Amino acid sequence: MPAVSLLKPLCGLDPQAYENLRSHCVQDYPDFEIIFGVADPEDPILSIVRQLIREFPSVPIKVVVCERQLGMNFKVSNLLQMLPAARHDCLIINDSDIAVPGDYLRRVVAPLADAEVGMVTCLYRGVPASTIGSRLESLGISSDFVPGVLAACRLEGGLRFALGSTMAFRRQTLQAIGGLEPVADYLADDYQLGYRITQAGLRVELSECVVDHCLPAYSLRDFCRHQLRWARTIRGARPGGYAGLVLTFAIPWAALGILAARGAAWSWFLFLLALMLRLVVAWMSGYVALGDRQARRNLWLLPIRDLMAAPIWFASYMDRQVVWRGKKFELSDGKLRPTQS
């Protein structure tokens, strides 16, 4: 159990911000520090950080105000300015809206004992608010995103990317791929870091630890906007695999089959079969693999979510603009660029 520096870039108040950040302070681990980074010295999240400093005086907590903008990805810009404050060689980065179990550090650090493991990452389950948009987002994580990650892992003989929910690695591994600077303009920085580590001949290990991703109270419009940004992010990172996703829209294709067959009995059978298989996948990946207790309650939304996924996939090819943290960018080969308008 090597000493760990946990880096958490922050920006604004996420849902359940206090509970999320506090979960990192109560780790059953002998030696770790937490480094929080913000770009704005008046960021409201700092009031929660100061509360945690008072609540956990035995936990080394540092705050770094990242005044410079080092690239278009503001998260990576913060990380570049936080990294010099990290004392230890074992580094963990995770997103600000992640809550973790008490044995999180033990479980994600353990695989790094293998010299062939360059990075450890974690699956995550969505913790939705009460809105339909938030519940659709959570269901999409369980029924679509996580099966996609597991399928990629199986088909490619291991992960070739990482997830922002957790990236644990050694400092020398980061140095071997050129540090954080080469990914400072990429939207999918987690994907790029994992990919570059595998290109260096090391493995990305998928931990058995599953963390919680606390979701905002999305409206339907917010949900669609976030899904469109996410779709364009994946398209920029894995264009070939993303194009192939059109073949996986089982429910929309089966519904079109009913129209094309003019309601023939066999087309209805195929539709019900597709629906049943999608429900099984959602149940197995959400409830069984992730332990997502919300998955069962939200299964009735699955046909709605899948019917919305197809037009979002098509819309992702119509433009390259994304909205991230309230700012508009254009994506070019996965990199963020300022919008021209």
Nearest to 70 by CA among 97, 46, 42, 39: 39
Sign of CA dihedral 158, 163, 165, 170: positive
pLDDT at position 163 is 95
pLDDT at position 20 is 96
Nearest to 176 by CA among 202, 155, 154, 150: 202
In whole angstroms, give the CA distance from residue 206 to residue 156.
14
Q: Taking the domains of the chain in order of start, what are their residue ranges?
A: 222-320
Give whole-number Cα distances, 145 to 51, 151, 309, in Å.
35, 10, 12
Please tell me the pTM assigned to this model: 0.91
pLDDT at position 341 is 55
Q: What are phi and psi of 166, to 5 degrees?
A: -165, 130
pLDDT at position 104 is 97
In whole angstroms, give the CA distance from residue 180 to residue 259.
51
Q: What's the DSSP call for residue 110?
A: G
Q: Are 45 and 325 in contact (CB under 8 A)?
A: no
Q: What is the pLDDT along the chain (341 residues), one digit of tens a residue?
A: 899 999 999 999 899 999 999 999 999 999 999 999 999 999 999 999 999 999 999 999 999 999 999 999 999 999 999 999 999 999 999 999 999 999 999 999 999 999 999 999 999 999 999 999 999 999 999 999 999 899 889 988 899 999 999 999 999 999 999 999 999 999 999 999 999 999 999 999 999 999 999 999 999 999 998 999 989 988 888 888 889 889 989 999 999 999 999 999 999 999 999 999 999 999 999 988 898 888 888 899 999 999 999 999 999 999 888 877 667 888 888 888 887 65
Give whole-number Cα distances, 233 to 123, 191, 334, in Å.
18, 10, 7
Rounded (5°) CA angle 103-126-60: 35
In whole angstroms, give the CA distance from residue 268 to residue 132.
28
Q: Retrieve residue 300's tokens.
A: 């009735």
Give whole-number Cα distances, 21 to 53, 93, 105, 254, 302, in Å.
11, 13, 14, 44, 31
Q: How many Å separate Cα 91 from the centre of its chain? A: 18
